[in-house]
Structure 1
Amino acid sequence: MTVFRADSSKETGTGHVMRCLALAEALKDLGTEIVFITYCQSDALIERLEDSGFRVYRLKSCYPDSESIEESIGYLNQFKDCWVVCDGLLFDHKYYEIIKTLGFKLLVIDDMAREPFYNADIVLNQNLHGLDLTYNCAPGTRLLLGNEFVILRREFLKYIGIKKKFNSELTRILVTLGGMDSNNYTEKILLTIKDMLSANQVKEALELTVVTGGGNRYADRIRAIDMPVPTTHLHNAANMPELMHTHDIAITSGGTTVWELAFMGVPSIVGRTAPIEDYLVNGLSKNGLFVDAGWYETLDEGHFIRTLLTLIHDKELQKEMSVKAQSLIDGRAIDKLVHQMIL
């Protein structure tokens, strides 16, 4: 058995739960019983976990609320001698100590190394900047750091070894800002693109696909925007790998979707929606993998439009970025991680 402890809210998004989902699927395929203990504001995400065959305990509040701690410990006490996987911005060394004191093996998925001490069996940081961080850990803790440990969901793995192909007669743009997009940056981006198109600055034929997550409460409002090019709206799409494979450019935020786009070889414009995304976006843009759009909250529309126009019109740049991105991720991180858990 493996117990996953991850939360999802409008502040933290759905990425932590989705990252756990990828590992949970692989463990379930090996015959492991999977349990999720989660505070989750997205009914669609809970439904996805349950449809995957996982047992789900839904918490009434988010860590570090005292009720959340007591409730989660109550659920954990039902289980013995198994792994607990923790993934979340709000979890801290105090919570990790509680889990270890209860006798569990602990895998911490962490992006920032900001805790003073990690009492864990494994610490995983799948980001490029993870290689540059220092973790103060208990003796014997195994550190799995860097892009060779990027976790991908099962549906992406059929694309291992497949190189990105681009459309020749038009440019297809995918807009996807995660499961929540609680500040509705999708609308801001679409209105900026609409201004660009109204100014007749685009020489290529364009098509847009806009994906809103299951927790996006602005989906109807976004769908109502009258775009001057063919635009498809999808809500809580289940075919993200296929969408990425058939689009030439993506516009996204600096969460877990970035790594999926890199694996699929999609040249992307990436904007920040939260401070933690600074680490990821800075590292990837410096390596020429993606273009940094800055903060969506204070979007520089002129810079964004110039960046998008460059990508649309420069097919060679698209191909160059695609090759660089796909060279980073081999799609086999799950196998490596599962191997570490069964050692």
Structure 2
Amino acid sequence: MKVVFRVDASYAIASGHVTRCLTLAAALRRRGAECVFISRQVSGNLLARVVAAGFEQRVLPGQHELLAVSETSEESRKSLIDDAMNTIKALGGERPGWMVVDHYAIDSEWERLLQPHIDEILVIDDLANRAHQCDVLLDQNFSLLGEQRYADLVRHDTRLLCGPRYALLQPEFARYRATLDRQRSSALRAFVSFGGSDLDNLTGLTIEAFLAPDLADIALDVAIGRNNPHRDALEQLIARRPGARAHVAPESLAPLMARADFAVGAGGTTTWERFCLDLPSVVIALAQNQVQTGESLDATSRIEYAGYWSDLTASDLSTAAIRVVTGLKRDEVSSPEPLVDGLGADRVAEVMTPTQSSALVMRPATLADIDSYYWWVNDAEVRRQSLSTAPVSWVEHEHWFASKMAADDTLMLVLEANDLPIGQVRFDVAEGGAVLDYSLDTIVRGRGLGETLVRKGLEQLSQSTSIAVSATVRTGNGASAATLTAAGFQLAHPDGDAEAKEDLYRFEPALVDQ
């Protein structure tokens, strides 16, 4: 399958859009997809980086940036249409399976022009300020409004992938997360990063903030992007600050984040990289689209949001950093419930290129699965179908998960698609039988995998024991009832109480073996 990306980078746009598209492209390539990039050759472009990553790069004519469309501007509207026509031309008569669009200047008009030439369109957005004509919309940012932000901006059948679970992070962040040990010493270390260009030199402002006496003993790792025009001045400034070290265009930020105790940096994708590695942060909005996310995360005590960059002084940053340092030294910075596990790109790739059911693998659950189980139990549809519809808190979940993993009478299994956890099945064994619980990740619902999940679970259980299995289903949950019936369960009391809130299903191995 061919996937085409329409994305740009420039000094003004910065590198984030191309970076996250490269991450998604790499995840798709691991699944056998052929990925092609279509971009404009504007100042600060990353065409060479795309080619270096092993992807084909096609270049659109013109060296001017595609600007956000104004409804009152004929020129900007014509520029958008010209871009769409040139993109169609760049396809060379091919019809890709997917077009991924990651561009704040592109809206439903452009997408409608491309639709006859593409099977499906996935839009990456976080502004929620314009209409889209797409099959899937991905917004990896945190918002208290969730999917409601796009209620009037997409078709009713558009699939929404909203939230940091879908953050497009490089694979090393998940690997570092798996071995992370946040045992902090008295000598604290901070990580500073403001992206690939940092035109307004927030890096320099942050170093100045760390000259404050209360922060003088903090070691600094400072990442300087490849396109940063202040590089020489920054390296000189860092050389004069004791305990500070410059890292110019590091191949990955993950090792620097993993060894830090806290961070100061921009909003955007690096926010989710820091969350993945459980790194307390002072966050600065570099663009208006980062303000809402920063305020939402601050309101839920997940970050120290300093504010919008142009409103800040070095003193403001010092004050914010001192608050984080004080909390760390008093051990008052606790990890809230997980938002990011580093598998977002694999989730999006699974939506775009579904794994065949014959290739799914069942394995025993491990302690590393705690995040997935937390998200599954708090899935909106799971809560709606439960007798208790209230969300499960992270503290409750931690205790429950630890006790279940340690229990000798519980079998917990995870279904994987290309190493991505997509569902769970659990058997609580007691005298006379076992009780079944199962759930599928929202990204794979509607594919008929419920029966596969339950059957594979029963096969694993049968390897250690041959006992009856029961499962309760909330009355009216036709999907679960159909799944259990297809897997060999029977309704225990077909003529039961009409007022009952749940139905009991039973699976008898002896009957199946006959």
| Fold shared by both chains (TM-score > 0.5) | yes
Q: In the alignment, which residue of structure 2 is the partner of 1:179?
A: 196
Cα separation, 2, equivalents of 1:292 and 1:317: 20
| 1:301-320 alignment, distance < 5 Å | 301-315=314-328, 320=333
Indicate the residue corresponding to 2:353 in structure 1.
Answer: 342
Q: In the alignment, what sits opposite 1:16?
A: 17
Between structure 1 and structure 2, the one with the greater Rg is 2
Amino acid at match of 1:332: L
- For 1:96 and 1:269, how far apart are their aligned partners in 2? 37
Partner of 1:217: 229
**Cα drift, residue 332 of structure 1:** 2.5
Q: Describe the shift of the 1:70–1:218 C-alpha distance in structure 2 as closer, same or farther (beyond 3 A).
A: farther
1:33 corresponds to: 34
Deviation string, structure 1 residues 74-102 (Cα, Å, up to 9, x no partner):
21244214201011222112111122132
One-letter code aligned to 2:86: E
Structure 1 segment 56-205 matched on structure 2, within 5 A = 56-59=57-60, 60-64=63-67, 65=79, 68-115=83-130, 117-129=131-143, 130-135=146-151, 136-194=153-211, 196=212, 200-202=213-215, 205=217
AA of the residue aligned to 2:208: L
> In the alignment, which residue of structure 1 is the partner of 2:495?
none
- One-letter amino acid of the counterpart of residue 351, structure 2: Q
Distance in 2 between residues matched to 1:43 and 1:112, nearest whole Å: 23
Instruction: Judge conservation of contact 2:196–2:224 (CA < 8 Å) in 1.
Output: yes
* Inter-partner Cα distance in structure 2 for 1:282 and 1:236: 29
**Which residue pairs with 2:274 in the alignment?**
261
Shift of 1:342: 2.6
Q: Which deviates the most, 134-143 or 208-217?
A: 134-143
- Asked if the contact 1:209/1:231 (under 8 Å) is kept, the reply is yes
User: How many Å apart are 1:139 and its aligned residue?
Assistant: 4.5
Question: Once the 2 structures are TM-superposed, how far is the Cα of residue 42 of structure 1 from its aligned partner?
Answer: 6.7
Q: Residue by residue, what CA displacement relative to the aligned partner does 1:25-63 show, whole Å, maximum 9, x if unpaired? A: 111111211111123557683333212210012333332
Moved more, 222-231 or 6-15: 222-231
> Are 1:250 and 1:268, in contact at CA under 8 Å, matched by a contact in 2?
yes
Which whole-Å CA distance do the structure 2 matches of 1:228 and 1:119 have between them? 51
In the aligned structure 1, how far is the partner of 2:282 from the partner of 2:208?
Answer: 16
**1 or 2 for the larger relative contact order (CA 8 Å, sep ≥6)?**
1
Structure 2 CA distance for partners of 1:230 and 1:237, relative to 1, 3 Å: same
**Aligned equivalents of 2:12 and 2:181: distance in 1?**
33
Q: Tell me if the contact between 2:42 and 2:64 (Cα under 8 Å) persists in the aligned partners.
A: no
Q: Alpha-carbon deviation of 1:159?
A: 2.5
Q: Could you tell me which residue of structure 1 aligns to residue 344 of structure 2?
A: 333
Q: Percent of aligned pairs with the same residue?
A: 26
Contact 2:220–2:245, Cα closer than 8 Å, also in 1 = yes
Structure 1 residues 317 and 300 mapped into 2: Cα distance closer, same or farther (>3 Å)? farther
State how far apart, in whole Å, the 1-side matches of 2:236 and 2:86 are: 41
2:241 aligned to which of 201, 224, 228 = 228
CA RMSD of aligned residues (A): 2.3
Letter in 1 for 2:278: G
1:57 aligned counterpart, secondary structure: strand
The question of 1:275 aligning with 2:288 is answered yes
1:318 to 1:332, Cα distance in 2 relative to 1, 3 A: farther
What pairs up with 1:227-246 in 2 under 5 angstroms? 227-246=240-259
Q: What per-residue deviation string (whole Å, max 9, x for no partner) do you get for residues 188-247 of structure 1? A: 2212322x1xxx324x73211111111112111111115332211111111311110001
Cα 1:318–1:180, aligned 2, differ >3 Å: closer, same or farther? farther
Conserved 8 A contact 2:167-2:269? no
Cα distance in 1 for residues equivalent to 2:52 and 2:6: 18
Q: In structure 2, what residue type is equivalent to 1:126? A: Q
CA displacement 1:271-301 (0-9 Å, x = unmatched)? 1111111122112111211111112222143
In the alignment, the residues of structure 1 paired with residue 12 and residue 330 of structure 2 have an alpha-carbon distance, to the nearest angstrom, of: 34
- CA 1:132–1:233: 2 relative to 1, 3 Å: same
TM-score with structure 2 length normalisation?
0.61
Q: 2:197·2:227 contact (CA, 8 Å) conserved in 1? A: yes
Asked whether the 8 Å contact 2:121–2:135 carries over to 1, the reply is: yes
Tell me whether 177-186 or 303-312 shows the greater mean CA deviation. 303-312
Gaps of 5+ in 2: 68-78, 355-514
* Distance apart, 1:23 and its partner CA: 0.6
Shift, 1:151, TM fit: 1.7
Classify the secondary structure of the residue corresponding to 1:56.
strand
The 8 Å contact of residues 107 and 120 in structure 1, kept in 2 or not, is answered as yes
Partners in 1 of 2:55 and 2:332 — Cα distance?
39
